Chains A and B, each alone.
Chain A
Amino acid sequence: MRVKKHALGLLLAMTPMLALAQSAAPAPPRLSQGEAIRWEKTVPVIDSGKWTGKRLADGQPDVQGNWANTIANQNNWTDPQGGEPGAKPPKTTREQRAPSRVSDPADGKVPFQPWAQTIAQEYFSNFHNPVKPEYIEPFARCAPGGVPKSFTWHGYEIRQYPGYVLFLFNSGTRIVHLDGKPHLPDSIKLWNADSRGHWEGNTLVVDVTNNNAKARLGRSGEFFSDQVHIVERYIFDNDGKRYNYVATITDPTVYTRPWTTTIPSRRYGLEQGDEPDGWHYEGEVANRPGKPPLDEYYERICVENNGGFGQVATTQAR
């Protein structure tokens, strides 16, 4: 047995015996994953406009740090807090839960062509009964979450550099080019797609092509094809604490019209009183005695650790 004891989240999740061996201090109760997922009911309004917050040396708005969505995970794209396929219907009414991630059209539904609606329904119906390999969520095999699903999954880190914005997701890493270089040739299809961005005031605008379309969207069956074109707008609030991910998804082979998804997100950080929780905020506290707390991330390894659904820095017990 070689459990590695380094992460607060992991530490809290360990068996009582090991936790005892690790530390005399009693471990605080850990929220289950379901409880830890944020359950905000509304999506804040953040307008595109000027950036008045702090900037990096190269002039980019400084949005580095840890972020996570605020309205549950990828279980259900259009009723984010309505449960995954096959779950018991929630006791709340639809109006008491967060709105659909489909912000346009106004009915909150993905405008599928009829044949595509049938396939989405097929994925939905077979989620818990994967009689064909393609019904198994690619996440469960450590596939990257891709665009845009990654923004509904665990918290993630943004690092910025002259010419680049880097997204370090729990499942997958995405390099957004701000360097003016052209998209890859169309024949190259990728899990994280190919991203070319630029800043417009408080908004990072990213043109996304070359999507292999295999990661799909929610467990609720939504998908697009590898012909999809996504234009993302990351609209940051000038207080640096929130942003909305607003992406327009165009794929005439699957939909009757372009549609827009909106995913509200918030910052996490030790400096604002958050504690790493292993889900939204996977950071670790760096070892630097005598100095203020500072967070950092350990390596993210999935398939080698035989875990599925992403892993944070742990070699599994065996």
Chain B
Amino acid sequence: MLKFRLLVSATLAALVVAANASAANGIPRLPSGKPDFSGIWQTTSAADFDLEPHAARKDAPPGAGIVEGNEIPYLPAALEQKKRNFEKRTTTDPRLKCWTLGTPRGIYYPEPFQIFQRDRDLTLVFQFGHSVRTIHTNGTLHPEVTDNEFWLGDSRGKWDGDTLVVDVKDFNDETWLDRAGNFHSPELHVVERWKFLDANTIEYAATLEDPKVFSRPWNISVVLHRHREKNFQLIEDYCYTLDYDQYYPVPGKVEGTR
């Protein structure tokens, strides 16, 4: 019996090893051999409602949070600002104006985004606002000018084996990190790590540092799932146009239909 168990364990171990090897080899790749993240992705986590652990409340489903160690290490003054943001979150979240979500928020926002990938770059088109982020993977550096303030930051990526490591900086301070009022300054620096868990799943991890807002760098991680529904596609969501949509009626032959 013992012998049989050992045999089963050995067989199982062998199977696990085989599965891992096949996962490593079974991910999509560009002709260049680099992992190919092309596709439409979305998280199922509640991260955008609050990065930190939270019970259910009127404006958010519960979530265990995606912050390593649970708490975002705010500096004292920044923590007070975060609390003020939280109090006013149902009116002042920039998302409510359909403004560009920023980095990393766009990645775990609960609408799909599509990655288009070439050797020289990855283009991320977010359904929300139809905003576009380019991650350069052609060896170029951040712009020489050091005080650019981009909504999405400036993204330069390189490969660490099969992991895409992206350095993002040159931010403005207009974006929030979630609906709970977590925020950053223009000093935000994000380092992302994109890695396939299998052909249809990406592990997205990021380290955030900001000496004006946080006492130390901190980490988040979410899983992104590939949309595989038949004929699934992005549907442009220029939600900021909805406020004036009514002012552009389509002219019709009968005056009343204008």
A residues bordering B, Cβ < 8 Å? 2, 4-6, 57, 113, 115-116, 119, 133-134, 136, 138, 141-144, 159, 161-162, 164, 166, 168, 172-173, 175, 177, 181-182, 184, 188, 190-192, 212-214, 223, 225-226, 253-254, 284, 286-289, 294, 296-301, 303-304, 313, 315
Whether B235 and A182, one on each chain, are in contact in the complex, defined by CB atoms closer than 8 angstroms, is no
Q: How far is the CB of B11 from chain A (nearest CB, A)?
A: 40
Interface of B is mostly: loop
- A152–B49 Cα gap in the complex (Å)? 41
Q: Which residues of B contact A315 (CB under 8 A)?
A: 149-151, 172, 174
Whether A57 and B31, one on each chain, are in contact in the complex, defined by CB atoms closer than 8 angstroms, is yes
Given known A-B contacts A142-B240, A296-B134, A300-B132, A116 and B150 have beta carbons under 8 A apart: no
Nearest CB in chain A to that of B236: its residue: A190
Whether B132 and A299, one on each chain, are in contact in the complex, defined by CB atoms closer than 8 angstroms, is yes
Whether A116 and B251, one on each chain, are in contact in the complex, defined by CB atoms closer than 8 angstroms, is yes
Given known A-B contacts A141-B241, A143-B241, A287-B142, A113 and B253 have beta carbons under 8 A apart: yes
Whether B247 and A297, one on each chain, are in contact in the complex, defined by CB atoms closer than 8 angstroms, is no
Given known A-B contacts A159-B123, A191-B236, A287 and B144 have beta carbons under 8 A apart: yes
Q: Judge whether B99 is part of the interface by a CB distance below 8 angstroms.
A: yes
Q: Judge whether B161 is part of the interface by a CB distance below 8 angstroms.
A: no
- A134–B100 Cα gap in the complex (Å)? 26
Q: Which 6 A-B pairs have the closest CB atoms?
A: A133-B247, A214-B248, A286-B140, A287-B141, A6-B148, A304-B99
Chain B, 232-258, CB within 8 A of any chain A CB: 233-236, 238, 240-241, 244-245, 247-253
- A309–B56 Cα gap in the complex (Å)? 42
Q: Which residues of A contact B154 (CB under 8 A)?
A: 298
Nearest CB in chain B to that of A135: its residue: B247
Whether A288 and B141, one on each chain, are in contact in the complex, defined by CB atoms closer than 8 angstroms, is yes
Q: How far is the CB of A180 from chain B (nearest CB, A)?
A: 10
| Contact-size category for B | 35 or more
Given known A-B contacts A166-B116, A288-B140, A315-B149, A144 and B238 have beta carbons under 8 A apart: yes
Contact with A along B77-104 (1 / 0, CB 8 A): 0000000000000000010011110000
Q: Which residues of A contact B117 (CB under 8 A)?
A: 161
Whether A301 and B118, one on each chain, are in contact in the complex, defined by CB atoms closer than 8 angstroms, is no
| A299-B100, A301-B151, A315-B172 given; 20 more Cβ-contact pairs under 8 Å | A2-B149, A6-B145, A138-B248, A143-B248, A159-B123, A162-B38, A166-B123, A168-B132, A175-B125, A175-B233, A190-B235, A225-B252, A253-B253, A287-B143, A299-B131, A301-B100, A304-B97, A304-B100, A304-B174, A315-B151
Q: Which residues of A contact B116 (CB under 8 A)?
A: 159, 161, 164, 166
Q: How far is the CB of A287 from chain B (nearest CB, A)?
A: 4
- A168–B233 Cα gap in the complex (Å)? 18
Given known A-B contacts A134-B249, A184-B235, A253-B252, A299 and B145 have beta carbons under 8 A apart: no
Q: How far is the CB of A163 from chain B (nearest CB, A)?
A: 9
Chain B, 99-143, CB within 8 A of any chain A CB: 99-100, 114, 116-118, 123, 125, 130-134, 136, 138-143
Interface of A is mostly: loop
Whether B123 and A119, one on each chain, are in contact in the complex, defined by CB atoms closer than 8 angstroms, is no
Whether B118 and A284, one on each chain, are in contact in the complex, defined by CB atoms closer than 8 angstroms, is no
Which residue of B131, B145, B172, B235 is within 8 Å of A188 (Cβ)?
B235
- A192–B132 Cα gap in the complex (Å)? 15
- A284–B249 Cα gap in the complex (Å)? 38
Q: Judge whether B68 is part of the interface by a CB distance below 8 angstroms.
A: no
Nearest CB in chain B to that of A284: its residue: B143
Q: How far is the CB of A22 from chain B (nearest CB, A)?
A: 8
Whether B147 and A287, one on each chain, are in contact in the complex, defined by CB atoms closer than 8 angstroms, is no
Which residue of B98, B130, B233 is within 8 Å of A173 (Cβ)?
B130
Whether A299 and B151, one on each chain, are in contact in the complex, defined by CB atoms closer than 8 angstroms, is yes
Q: Which residues of A contact B152 (CB under 8 A)?
A: 299
Nearest CB in chain A to that of B246: its residue: A133
- A142–B97 Cα gap in the complex (Å)? 13
Which residue of B118, B125, B233 is within 8 Å of A181 (Cβ)?
B233
Nearest CB in chain A to that of B130: its residue: A173
Nearest CB in chain A to that of B116: its residue: A161
Q: Which residues of B contact A138 (CB under 8 A)?
A: 241, 244, 248
Q: Which residues of B contact A191 (CB under 8 A)?
A: 236, 238, 241
Which residue of A134, A164, A284, A294 is within 8 Å of B248 (Cβ)?
A134
Q: How far is the CB of A195 from chain B (nearest CB, A)?
A: 11
Nearest CB in chain B to that of A253: its residue: B253
Which residue of B139, B148, B249 is within 8 Å of A288 (Cβ)?
B139
Q: Which residues of B contact A253 (CB under 8 A)?
A: 252-253
Which residue of B130, B136, B150, B252 is within 8 Å of A313 (Cβ)?
B150
Q: Which residues of B contact A296 (CB under 8 A)?
A: 134, 136, 140
Q: Which residues of A contact B130 (CB under 8 A)?
A: 144, 172-173
Nearest CB in chain B to that of A301: its residue: B151
Whether B145 and A5, one on each chain, are in contact in the complex, defined by CB atoms closer than 8 angstroms, is yes
Whether B250 and A225, one on each chain, are in contact in the complex, defined by CB atoms closer than 8 angstroms, is yes
Whether B131 and A303, one on each chain, are in contact in the complex, defined by CB atoms closer than 8 angstroms, is no
Q: Which residues of B contact A284 (CB under 8 A)?
A: 143
Whether A223 and B244, one on each chain, are in contact in the complex, defined by CB atoms closer than 8 angstroms, is no
